[in-house]
Structure 1
Amino acid sequence: MSLAHISNVRAPAAGQQYRIALMQPYFLPYLGYFQLIAAVDCFVIYDNVQFIKNGWIERNRYLLEQEPKWFRVPLTKGSHTQQIMEKRIAETFDPGDILNKLSFAYRRAPYVARMLAWLEALLVEPAQNIAELNERILRACCCLIGLQTPIIRSSELSISTDSKAQDRVLEVIQACAGTHYLNPFNGGHLYRAEAFQQAGITLELLKATLPDYQQGRSEQPFVPGLSILDVLMYNDAQTVGAWAKRGEIVRA
């Protein structure tokens, strides 16, 4: 499928810089993930790569009595070669399990009622697979905090099924007519800037900027890097949207 036929995405004009980011669809990811989205012209959900168990795709962390705890979406068992978009949600999934945990953990947070109602509406709507659910939540979160970056799926692009790792990333960027590729700073070691230069693409890295905010009792130390839900439980959406635009871009 050509870029011109992908909804809400426009091909860049000749000579125009066009920055792309590519990430697996994480479940309620941390603020740095949204800083990546805010910093690019097009964000690609990497849904047609192999699912990795116990990563950020089906789980994330919330804060209970100042201790990070896991909450997750149960998935069906399957082949270890299954792609993310093939990984189905288990029939035993009960949104109430997640909502009850969060309701207790954040019972004193100023925005708990609003955020639980927002999340419940997203979780109770049926989803065929974890990629679909995570994309739904991701788009809703971007809307909530005011990010308007176009979002597409890598499975919608015409790229080779045989290419792997860096070569496949390059194909995705080229399919989107990207001139710049932005990757999280901590993952910079996975790529060679020279290979991107040879393809006419500039490799850049994003350093996440995570502000401290009060989490419950003020005397407790701040716990960074939790799910975006933690940020939204204690801060209004406009403030979180402003924080999402704070990431620092550096050349690889």
Structure 2
Amino acid sequence: MKKIAILQSNYLPWKGVFDMINQVDEFVFLEDAQYTKNDWRNRNKILIQTKPTWITVPVYNYSLEQLIYRTEIVMKYNWQRKHFNTFQINYSRASHYKKYLPLLEDIFLDKSWTNLSELNIYTTKIIAKELGITTKFINSVDLGCDGIKDDKLIKICKKLGATHYLSGPSAKNYIDPIKFQTNNIELEYIEYNYPEYNQGKEGFITHGVTVLDLMFHCGDESPKYIFKS
């Protein structure tokens, strides 16, 4: 049995993405797919004064057909320093912030990012490592599988010899299970169900923020708030 998941890269993903990564043998970043505006590709939420608030990486939007791996970052806004400062201001008092300060410095201060896909893949990998995840990562660009929607997913599954495909629950609205069954690939859906944790003086507020929020507050205990035992 070999289980994989396929998903577009996200900016500083929420914990559900890492739950999915941890449940599969190989995780494929779907980067030769269309870039979608006002989505999770270039933004995510953090808590600012207890309110979930977007932080956004500025990118160039050249066309509707623009692919994720060809999406370039606008450099003139000094966004890296701004995002670092935003984390510093809003999380420096969190119990485990200092533990992950080197990670933030690595992402925002030690490197200069020009490509969104490269930024997202790098940050996802180093956060996964911090969480103890050992799943193998693959970039769809390196696989050369054409097609769209289900057909592309199935081609990737077959190229990698996958027998099981793990999908997000929202895909139930558009995925065709018959196609997977016809190709002898067992289709599974992840269930997002997580315990609450203390997010500061207000207690628990929301699950819908970057996984870094959990890590800053829970430190080495973070995996137990993500992974099923």
Q: What TM-score results when the alignment is normalised by the length of structure 2?
A: 0.94
Counterpart of 1:82 in 2: which secondary structure? coil
1:246 match: 228
- Displacement of 1:106: 1.4
Unaligned stretches of 5+ residues in structure 1: 1-16, 248-252
2:138 match: 152
Per-residue CA deviation, residues 4-30 of structure 1 (Å, 9 max, x unaligned), is xxxxxxxxxxxxx10010000000111
Q: Is the 8 A contact 1:62 1:227 kept in 2?
A: yes
AA aligned opposite 2:208: G
Per-residue CA deviation, residues 168-208 of structure 1 (Å, 9 max, x unaligned), is 11111111110010001122222121110001101000001
Separation in structure 2 between the aligned mates of residue 245 and residue 209 of structure 1, nearest angstrom? 10
1:120 match: 105
AA aligned opposite 2:182: Q
Match of 1:210 among 190, 194, 199: 194
Counterpart of 2:212 in 1: which secondary structure? helix
1:169 match: 153
Cα separation, partners in 2 of 1:123 and 1:107, compared to 1, 3 Å = closer
1:231 match: 214
Match of 2:44 among 60, 72, 75: 60
Q: Is the 8 A contact 1:112 1:233 kept in 2?
A: yes
1:21 match: 5
Matched, 1:91 2:75: yes
Separation in structure 1 between the aligned mates of residue 226 and residue 160 of structure 2, nearest angstrom? 23
Separation in structure 2 between the aligned mates of residue 190 and residue 77 of structure 1, nearest angstrom? 26
Q: Is the 8 A contact 1:45 1:152 kept in 2?
A: yes
- Displacement of 1:221: 4.7
Cα separation, partners in 2 of 1:189 and 1:21, compared to 1, 3 Å = same
Q: CA RMSD in A?
A: 1.5
Counterpart of 1:235 in 2: which secondary structure? helix
Aligned length: 227
Match of 1:129 among 104, 115, 135: 115
Per-residue CA deviation, residues 96-139 of structure 1 (Å, 9 max, x unaligned), is 10011111111321122332331121233133410000000011
Q: Is the 8 A contact 2:12 2:120 kept in 1?
A: yes
Matches within 5 A, 1:32-111: 32-94=16-78, 95-111=80-96
- Displacement of 1:144: 0.7
1:141 match: 127
Counterpart of 2:187 in 1: which secondary structure? strand
Where has structure 1 moved over 3 Å in runs of 4 or more? Answer: none
Q: Is the 8 A contact 2:27 2:138 kept in 1?
A: yes
Separation in structure 2 between the aligned mates of residue 103 and residue 110 of structure 1, nearest angstrom? 13
Cα separation, partners in 2 of 1:164 and 1:77, compared to 1, 3 Å = closer
Separation in structure 1 between the aligned mates of residue 60 and residue 112 of structure 2, nearest angstrom? 15
Separation in structure 1 between the aligned mates of residue 93 and residue 225 of structure 2, nearest angstrom? 23
Separation in structure 2 between the aligned mates of residue 142 and residue 82 of structure 1, nearest angstrom? 27
Residues 168-177 or 116-125, more deviating: 116-125
Unaligned stretches of 5+ residues in structure 2: none
- Displacement of 1:159: 1.2
